[in-house]
Copies of this chain bind each other. A is one copy, B any other.
Amino acid sequence: MTKIPVPGQSVRGSKSGSPIMAMFDLLGRRWAMGVLWTLSEQGPLSFRGLQDACETISPGVLNSRIKELRAAGFVALGEDGYHVTALGSDVYEALLPLSKVSKVWAERLADLEKPHKAQTG
């Protein structure tokens, strides 16, 4: 299996394994944030339920991301399926500002697209 980034050990962007770079290494993989987000908002979910909720994720990738998120302690498997841990919930909440910015971003792009004539400066 692929190496799971851990703070304190060499990760992408930091040989000394700075926490934020380890976090980026972990979350900067396809679907990682999407899985955590989806599970936080819609969990607990079964493997297949999570797969469906993600719309287009393949089981192999989902399995990899789950393993990594579990190893990191962000996600756990309980009686009623996968769910985020307390720490995982903290990560989710840390992503909320990003959601806010993403909306600003979307609006800005929409503004650039709509008025093909003039522009507010």
Which residues of A from 86 to 121 have beta carbons under 8 Å from B? 87, 90-91, 93-106, 108-110
Looking at the complex, which one of B13, B34, B109 makes contact with A13 (CB distance below 8 Å)?
B34
* In the complex, A38 has a CB within 8 A of chain B: yes
Q: Which of B32, B94, B102 lies in contact with A23, CB distance below 8 A?
A: B102
Any chain B CB within 8 A of the CB of A64? no
A residues 6-58 touching B (CB-CB < 8 Å): 6-8, 12-15, 19-24, 27-34, 37-38, 54-57
Q: A113–B32 Cα gap in the complex (Å)? A: 25
User: Whole-angstrom distance between the alpha carbons of A55 and B14 in the complex?
Assistant: 7
Q: Contacts of A76 on B, CB cut-off 8 Å?
A: none
How far is B37's CA from A22's CA once the two chains are assembled, in angstroms?
Answer: 13
Given contacts A38-B13, A97-B93, A101-B94, contact A24 B33 (CB under 8 A): yes
A22 CA to B99 CA, complexed, in Å: 10
Given A6-B109, A109-B8, A33:B27 Cβ within 8 A: yes
CB-CB < 8 A to A91: which residues of B?
98, 101, 105
Q: A20-B99, A72-B105, A87-B105 are in contact. List 8 more A-B contacts (CB 8 A).
A: A12-B30, A12-B31, A13-B57, A20-B98, A21-B34, A73-B105, A90-B101, A95-B98
